[in-house]
Amino acid sequence: MTVHGRRARRAAPFLGALVLVTVLGCAALVRGPSNGSAPETRATVAAEPPQTEPAPEPTLDAPQVSGERISPTPRAPQEGSVDDPASLFVVVNKQRPLRPADVVPDDLVIAGVASANAPVLRAQAARALEEMFAVARTEGGGSMLVQSAYRSYTTQVSVYDGWVSRLGAERADLQSARPGHSEHQTGLAVDISPSPTTCVLQACFGTTAQGRWLAANAWRFGFVLRYPETETAVTGYTYEPWHFRFVGPEAARRYHDAGATTLESFFGLPAAPTY
- Given a cut of 50, whether residue 254 has pLDDT beyond it is yes
Q: For the chain, how long is the longest CA-to-CA vector? A: 53
pLDDT of residue 8: 44
Q: Report helix, strand or coil for 107.
A: coil
pLDDT of res. 260: 98
Q: Is the pLDDT of residue 251 over 80?
A: yes
Checking if the pLDDT of 166 tops 70, the result is yes
How long is the chain? 275
Q: Is the pLDDT of residue 53 over 80?
A: no
Nearest partner of 70 among 99, 104, 96, judged by Cα: 104
Q: What is the mean pLDDT of the chain?
A: 81
Which domains does the chain show, CATH number per domain? 68-266 (3.30.1380.10)
> What are phi and psi for residue 189, nearest 5 degrees?
-115, 145
For residue 96, give the nearest of 110, 81, 108 by alpha carbon: 81
**DSSP conformational letter for 40:** S
Q: What is the pLDDT of residues 99-135, one digit of tens each?
A: 999 999 999 999 999 999 999 999 999 999 999 999 9
Predicted pLDDT of residue 48: 52
**pLDDT value at 242 more than 70:** yes
Give percent of the chain above pLDDT 90.
71
Span 8-34, average pLDDT: 36
CB burial readout 156-187, b (16+ within 10 A) else e: beebbeebbeeeeeeebbebbbbbbbbbbbbb
Distance between CA atoms of 2 and 249, rounded to whole angstroms?
16
Mean pLDDT, rounded, for 228-249? 98
